């Protein structure tokens, strides 16, 4: 091959590398991909083939070299050029203010701070020479770390080559520190895979990240989808930075990932407000954070403040209340749900976790108890994240005394004493098969009266308990026979409260058929399916007599849902309830889709609290116009409607670049579509 052709091929390879690096940065750092996965794969395979045919042009920093060979032995130990110190922790805003007062004794004048989300991950040090990533170290003991370069190369948000962009010239050499982490969704997927192979699960995302970075085989680490945020300067040659904020803005131009929520603050009050905000909003993030890192912004002032043996004086971490804690499992109680499913609930020695006192936690099912090998009187690790019910992560087996008791499946229903059976072969749930079980009746009534179902305000758990215990209500239809004199017999009721509940019960009679179908609690039939069924079968009698094969033909109704519907309406009790509901005067009207269906095909997700109408009303309005309502955000979602206090759906939509609108825009959308 001629020298001219070789130069042409070298240029093609160089251009391919630059293109792939650019698209890696867009995808893994900015979350703003410009090309499809298929187009990316074509570029990658083309580069791979050219490097195979012309190995003289393959470099260590090529995108194809992210996954290297398996280490033959343990990791090489390397001394840090600049020690990786740990931060001092504070647990209250008073302690933050005390730190600020200590700082002002050494450096006078107005202070500026940078505040950064404290990732709950694993620290790493990255070394770049002339823009190339040459070394990656774990923190180790702060003085010496493991050479984990091979595993860090598998983290796609870490560039193998820094970008030359804008005014920022590349330093000859730079050492930066960052946090390696794994997204919550990726962590769940990883544990789900481990569960299938009966392997021990990771306790939390940080545990999964640490385990991944210790793997001797980078090929396995590459499948973990690790990510990174850079937060600290270790050392730089050939460039000077005056402030932490300048450093962070500059390295973003290099293509290094920086957390987008980092902020520059001009007072300690502004710092504390930032801490408060993220303590409340942390559950909206796709990754876990455990606090806020507060740094003096000026590097000159940082140098003046200096460091102790363990930590810098110019930075401090404000730690959120712990999301995990250890306590004693005192006992296990068994709850019975509306379908009869028996759920084991752990009774715990009260312990603070996530800012609240926890005394109960879910054990899910008896298979989970066996998998965990958890026992009564065990010391256990519990976890609480956001509004999720606390759960037991694992028992601390090393402190067992031999007095711990195994948790056995009950022989009869803990509430009614009736017979229990395993639901079906291959399933994990055990059920009470007595349809008159008072626990099931209570749960069914709660479900029936809930906001997305019949929305009966005032018919809550405590009222339902008294109604069932006093035998005033034996099934969901009985609530429509209640009289004021019945309610006044109960401890909870005076005249006004009784009148209000009776009005709410009367108002529920006008709910559409879709809401009623959902309220009946038919297994596998959610809000959307209830709407589809109500539009297909114009009255409840037609639905009750529908055959499985006809139900299966309906779009979005599969064989499992069809069989579940048939099974439900074949029960004598269900048919008797429908007869009673008709006699009570329930209208069971149909929510008709508009003829034009202007929102047809649009997949819409609602998140947060809407002011003008309830969640159920907003969904019904969108359904009338042909929209497809979903409870979760995915790449298939077309639109997210956001109210006050949006949850994680909002963050996921932003990450996936899905269109997000507020309540006023949603109202305008409905009006504009209705006119068409």
Query: Would you please indicate which residues are annotated as catalytic (active-site) residues?
Result: 118
What is the end-to-end Cα distance of the chain in Å, rounded?
66
Q: Tell me what percent of the chain is helix, strand and coil, each rounded to the nearest 5.
A: 40, 20, 40
Question: Phi, psi (5° rounding) for residue 212?
Answer: -70, -40
Residue 345: CA atoms inside 13 Å, Cβ hemisphere, count? 14
2 neighbors 29 (Cβ within 8 angstroms): no
Phi-psi region for residue 70, left (φ > 0), alpha (ψ -120 to 50) or beta? Answer: beta
Residue 476: CA atoms inside 13 Å, Cβ hemisphere, count? 31
| Separation of CA 505 from chain center | 36
In terms of DSSP bridges, do strands 342-353 and 356-362 run parallel, antiparallel, or are they unpaired? antiparallel
What is the C-alpha to C-alpha distance for residues 605 and 610, in angstroms, rounded to an integer?
Answer: 13
- Tally Cβ neighbours within 10 Å of residue 598: 17
Question: Pick from 436, 458, 438, 456: which is nearest to 448 by CA?
Answer: 456
Give counts: helices (H), strands (E), the chain. Answer: 24, 22
Question: Pick from 586, 421, 447, 459: which is nearest to 527 by CA?
Answer: 447
Question: Phi, psi (5° rounding) for residue 149?
Answer: -55, -45
| Separation of CA 631 from chain center | 13
Q: Where are the beta strands (DSSP E) in 95-220?
A: 113-119, 122-129, 132-138, 144-146, 173-181
Helix 438-449 vs helix 461-469: crossing angle, to nearest 10: 140
Question: Phi, psi (5° rounding) for residue 376?
Answer: -65, 135
Specify the residue for token string 């890696």: 24
């Amino acid at each position: 091959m001629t020298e001219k052709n070789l130069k042409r091929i070298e240029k093609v390879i160089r251009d391919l590398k630059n293109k792939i690096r650019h698209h890696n940065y867009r995808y893994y750092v900015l979350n703003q991909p410009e090309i499809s996965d298929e187009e990316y794969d074509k570029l990658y395979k083309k580069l791979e083939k050219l490097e195979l045919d012309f190995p003289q042009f393959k470099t260590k920093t090529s995108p194809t070299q992210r996954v290297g060979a398996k280490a033959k032995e343990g990791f090489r130990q390397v001394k840090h050029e600049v020690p990786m110190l740990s931060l001092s922790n504070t647990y209250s805003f008073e302690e933050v203010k005390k730190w600020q007062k200590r700082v002002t004794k050494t450096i006078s004048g107005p202070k500026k701070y940078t505040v950064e989300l404290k990732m709950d991950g694993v620290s790493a040090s990255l070394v770049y020479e002339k823009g190339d990533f040459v070394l990656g170290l774990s923190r180790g003991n702060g003085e010496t770390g493991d050479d984990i370069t091979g595993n860090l190369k598998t983290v796609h948000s870490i560039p193998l080559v820094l970008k030359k962009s804008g005014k920022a010239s590349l330093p000859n050499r730079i050492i930066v520190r960052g946090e390696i982490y794994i997204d919550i969704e990726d962590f769940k997927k990883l544990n789900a895979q481990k569960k299938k192979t009966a392997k021990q699960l990771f306790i939390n995302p940080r545990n999964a990240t640490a385990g991944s970075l210790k793997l001797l085989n980078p090929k396995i680490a590459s499948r973990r989808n690790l990510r990174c945020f850079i937060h600290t300067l270790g050392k730089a040659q050939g460039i000077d930075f005056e402030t932490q904020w300048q450093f962070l803005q500059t390295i973003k131009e290099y293509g290094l990932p920086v957390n987008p929520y980092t902020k520059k603050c001009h007072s300690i009050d502004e710092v504390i407000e930032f801490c408060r905000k993220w303590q409340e909003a942390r559950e909206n993030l796709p990754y876990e954070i455990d606090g806020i890192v507060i740094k003096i912004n000026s590097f000159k002032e940082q140098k003046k403040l200096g460091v102790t043996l363990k930590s810098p004086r110019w930075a401090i971490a404000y730690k959120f209340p712990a999301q995990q804690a250890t306590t004693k499992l005192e006992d296990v109680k068994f709850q019975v749900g509306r379908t009869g499913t028996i759920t084991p609930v752990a009774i715990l020695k009260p312990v603070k976790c996530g800012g609240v006192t926890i005394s109960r936690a879910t054990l899910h099912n008896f298979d989970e108890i066996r998998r965990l090998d958890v026992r009564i009187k065990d010391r256990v690790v519990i976890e609480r994240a956001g509004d999720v019910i606390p759960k037991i992560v694992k028992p601390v087996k090393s402190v067992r005394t031999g007095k711990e008791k195994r948790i056995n499946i009950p022989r009869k229903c803990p509430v009614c004493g009736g017979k229990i059976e395993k639901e079906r072969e291959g399933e994990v749930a055990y059920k009470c098969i007595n349809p008159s079980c008072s626990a099931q009746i209570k749960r069914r009534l709660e479900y029936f009266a809930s906001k997305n179902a019949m929305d009966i305000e005032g018919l809550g758990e405590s009222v339902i308990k008294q109604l069932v215990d006093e035998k005033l209500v034996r099934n969901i239809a009985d609530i429509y026979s209640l009289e004021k004199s019945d309610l006044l017999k109960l401890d909870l009721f005076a005249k006004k409260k009784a009148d209000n509940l009776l009005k709410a019960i009367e108002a529920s009679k006008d709910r559409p058929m879709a809401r009623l179908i959902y309220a009946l609690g038919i297994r596998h039939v959610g809000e959307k399916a209830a709407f589809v069924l109500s539009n297909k079968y114009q009255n409840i009698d037609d639905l009750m007599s529908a055959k499985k094969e006809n139900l299966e033909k309906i779009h979005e109704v599969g064989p499992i849902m069809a069989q579940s519907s048939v099974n439900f309406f074949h029960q004598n009790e269900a048919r008797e309830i429908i007869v009673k509901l008709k006699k009570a005067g329930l209208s069971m009207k149909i929510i008709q889709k508009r003829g034009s269906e202007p929102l047809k095909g649009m997949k819409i997700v609602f998140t947060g609290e809407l002011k003008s109408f309830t969640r159920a009303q907003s969904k019904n309005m969108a359904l009338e116009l042909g929209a497809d309502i979903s409870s979760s955000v995915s790449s298939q979602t077309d639109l997210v409607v956001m109210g006050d206090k949006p949850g994680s759906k909002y963050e996921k939509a932003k990450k996936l670049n899905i269109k997000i609108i507020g309540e006023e825009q949603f109202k305008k959308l409905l009006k504009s579509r209705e006119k068409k």
